[in-house]
Structure 1
Amino acid sequence: MEKSMIIEKTVDFKVNKKQVWDLLTNPEKTKLYMFGCEVLSDWTIGSEIIWKGKTEDGQEIIHVKGEITEIKNGEKVSFTMLDPNIGIKDIPENYVNLTYELNESESGTVLKLTQDFAGTENAEKRYNESATGWDMVIDVMKKLAD
């Protein structure tokens, strides 16, 4: 059986949707949990989204770039993404799709994260790296929010 190339994570936060949305979209907050990267976008459909950070030697670099494909402010955002530094072609077929969806729960907010690598170059390697990365990132996100 072929391995699914979709990462799905559900994360429970003890804070409201507005606070989780801020955690996901505020560059000052993303820098704290996303390996030093600030997420930058104007959060409208068709606009660019980038994660900008620094290399080990202090050079500023775009670690991930993409485009917003769907947004419902404060509730859901979907975008494409590609690391331009991993040596794969910068073509639409190689962009991964990522969706953050927020729903209220009895204890606060549930974040559903879906990242789809199907059909992309080096899909399995990228999937495995992201699955490991998300486990680390989510732990830090929960500490920051809760």
Structure 2
Amino acid sequence: MKIEKEVIFNVNKAKVWELLTNPSITKQYMFGCEVLSNWEVGNTILWKGYTEEGKEVIYVKGEIIECKKGDKVTFTMFDPNMEIEDIPENYLNLTYELIEINNKTLLRLTQGNFATVTQGKKRYEESLKGWEMVIPIMKQIVEH
């Protein structure tokens, strides 16, 4: 149970990298969440947003496993608000890989393995639905 998506953006790789790593841009498509990280291996990554009441919430936390800035990043991810145990076995990996082809960029997104985590089926379905909502917005932001 893995999510694998390939999306072509009609812009160069640098613009897609910016889309994925700039908090003021992620806030526009990732349900109001800013991605916070220095993109160094071993360091944290947080997706921070606010509730309707204005309370700050960390919606996703994890650690950078691999990062080749501008090309590829892999990080672990866990929603601390789910009522499941915060143990390494419940973290998922998400990889963004960027390949530039004729001034366009292919984003290869891989998330999983949902089969190995608690509530895997539910988390898989929610993530799949989330990506289907977010990807068109990502394209719209970066291509206009």
Q: How does 1:46-61 map to 2 (within 5 A)?
A: 46-61=42-57
Counterparts of residues 31-42 of structure 1 (less than 5 Å): 31-42=27-38
On the 8 A contact 1:20/1:109 being kept in 2, the answer is yes
Deviation readout 1:16-69 (Å, 9 max, x if unpaired):
000000000000000000000000001000000000000121100100000000
Q: How much does 1:118 deviate?
A: 2.9
2:40 counterpart residue number: 44
Superposition pairs for residues 52-91 of structure 1, below 5 Å?
Answer: 52-91=48-87
* Corresponding position: 1:111 with 2:80: no
The secondary structure found in structure 1 opposite 2:89 is: helix
Residue segments in structure 1 that go unaligned for 5+ positions in a row? none
Runs of 4+ in structure 1 over 6 Å off = none
Structure 1 residue 123 displacement after superposition: 0.4
The answer (yes or no) to whether the contact 1:103–1:110 under 8 Å persists in 2 is yes
SS of equivalent to 2:31 = coil
- Number of aligned residues: 142
Shift of 1:105: 1.5
5 Å matches for 1:110-129? 110-116=106-112, 117-129=114-126
Which whole-Å CA distance do the structure 2 matches of 1:16 and 1:107 have between them?
5
Contact persistence 1:12–1:110 (CA under 8 A):
yes
Q: TM-score, normalised by structure 1?
A: 0.96
The alpha-carbon deviation at position 107 of structure 1 amounts to 4.9
2:23 maps to: 27
What TM-score comes out, normalization by structure 2 length? 0.97
Q: Contact 1:23 / 1:145 at 8 angstroms: preserved in 2?
A: yes
**Aligned equivalent of 2:89:** 93
Cα-Cα RMSD: 0.7
